[in-house]
Structure 1
Amino acid sequence: MTTTSPSIQLHRGDLPDDVSFHGTIAVDTEAMGLNPHRDRLCLVQISAGDGNAHLVQILPGTPSPNLARLMADRTVTKLMHFARFDVAILQHALGVTVAPVICTKIASKLVRTFTDRHGLAHLCRELLGVDLSKQQQTSDWGAAVLTPEQQAYAASDVLHLHALWAKLEALLHREGRRALAQACYDFLPARARLDLLGYEEPDIFAHRA
């Protein structure tokens, strides 16, 4: 384990045996691209909402059993932004069903219908007053050594999710859509499997041949 700052811990290959999580954790991923079949998973970011981030650098050809167990642990809720992609690439790379899941992007789309801006950076700025830098978003996440800037960027994507979810969940309750959001979240592992099978297009829910 390499500690790069007081709040960021980088683990190569897997979570250490002595790191455990309970309750709700924020989870994000970085990959070589946005196609789970073509592009390999490079990094998994985790935060318990305590101001600390654990970054697991995925090593090609090396299993990550502790990480896989955590993602499949149904007693631990995985809080994500755009969970459809994260769940798909995690399920494809780790060979597990990732559940239960919460997605802040789905929550935003259900209650913030007055805007089409549902990106993480916009939500953090709008709801939390936090400015996230996206400068490293398209950097090379497959590099053997991640720069301090990459690590800081990756950590920022999970460090604010708990606070963001608190704001969005309150809006879901206010608008009477919390149960609807939960139904969407419960379906996400299956939606990810459909994506991995190639059912993004045609959409099997669409009314067309």
Structure 2
Amino acid sequence: MTSAYSDNAVTLHQNDLPDGLTFTGSVAVDTETMGLNPHRDRLCLVQLSAGDGTAHLVQLIPTRLGGTGYACSNLKRVLADSSLIKIMHFARFDVGILQQALGITVAPVVCTKIAAKLVRTFTERHGLAALCREILGVELSKHQQTSDWGAPTLTPEQCAYAASDVLHLHALWARLEALLEREERRELAQACFDFLPSRARLDILGYDEPDIFAHRA
């Protein structure tokens, strides 16, 4: 494991988190992949933040390109830690790709997208950029969203973009959790969050379509 890039707020690690790096209570998590099909597209990057204004990015490099693939024991330990809440946005996808690629169960999880849909029923804008703008007053750039995350060397612009997807999740979840409490939907949200690892496994098995919860005549 090596650190390939670092500035005051962002550190890029290759292959795994460094020994001794720990998180307590909760950690914001996001992923970057080669596409949106977990059966076809590889997991390239995992971003984590303790909510302290810093982000750790783990670039997962295939063995054929000189890396260690998904042999990332420190990262797996963090993501599978049952005492650590993972804060995500659109956790259904991130939990699915992490469980598929790393062979772990990612739990417990909270999802800011689900939370937003439960309490912000006056709008259809539930994307991370829209929520950060409207709730936190923070503008996120999405210019690097469709860049090549499988490149052997990530640019500073890619690293800054990837970090931005986790740096604000703690603050966003705090605001959304307060809204869930206000609207008496916190318990319902928790039931949705608890189901996410199983929902992700159903997706991987191909039960996203047809959805086994949908009615068919």
Give the TM-score normalised by structure 2: 0.95
Counterpart of 1:6? Answer: 8
2:208 to 175, 194, 200: 200
- Return the match for 1:47 from 46, 49, 74: 49
Q: Whole-Å Cα distance in 1 between the matches of residues 5 and 152 of structure 2?
A: 16
What residue ranges of structure 1 are gaps of 5+ in the alignment? none
Which of 22, 25, 40 is residue 24 of structure 2 equivalent to?
Answer: 22
Point out where structure 2 has 5 or more consecutive residues left out of the alignment. Answer: none
Partner-residue secondary structure (3-state), 1:55: strand
User: CA separation in 1, counterparts of 2:5 and 2:186?
Assistant: 38
1:133 lines up with 2:141 in the alignment: yes
Q: CA deviation at 1:54?
A: 0.1
CA drift at 1:10:
0.6
Aligned residues: CA RMSD: 0.7
Aligned counterpart, 2:76: 68
- Residue aligned with 1:102, SS: strand
Correspondence 1:30-109 to 2 at 5 A: 30-61=32-63, 62=68, 63-109=71-117
Give me the whole-angstrom Cα distance separating, in 2, the residues matched to 1:51 and 1:3: 17
Where 1:87 maps in the other structure, the secondary structure is: helix
How many angstroms does 1:2 deviate by? 3.3
Work out the percentage of aligned pairs sharing the same amino acid: 74
Task: String of CA shifts for 1:93-125, please: whole Å, max 9, x gaps.
Answer: 100000000000000000000001100000000
Q: Between Structure 1 and Structure 2, how many residues are aligned? A: 209
What is the correspondence of 1:114-133 to structure 2 with a 5 Å cutoff?
Answer: 114-133=122-141
Residue 153 of structure 1, aligned match among 156, 161, 175 = 161
What's the secondary structure of 1:56's corresponding residue?
Answer: strand
**Which of 140, 156, 170 does residue 162 from structure 1 map onto?**
170
Q: TM-score, normalised by structure 1?
A: 0.99
Q: Distance in 1 between matches of 2:87 and 2:198?
A: 17
Structure 1 stretches of 4+ with a deviation exceeding 2 A read: none
Alpha-carbon deviation of 1:69?
1.1
SS at 1:207's partner residue?
coil
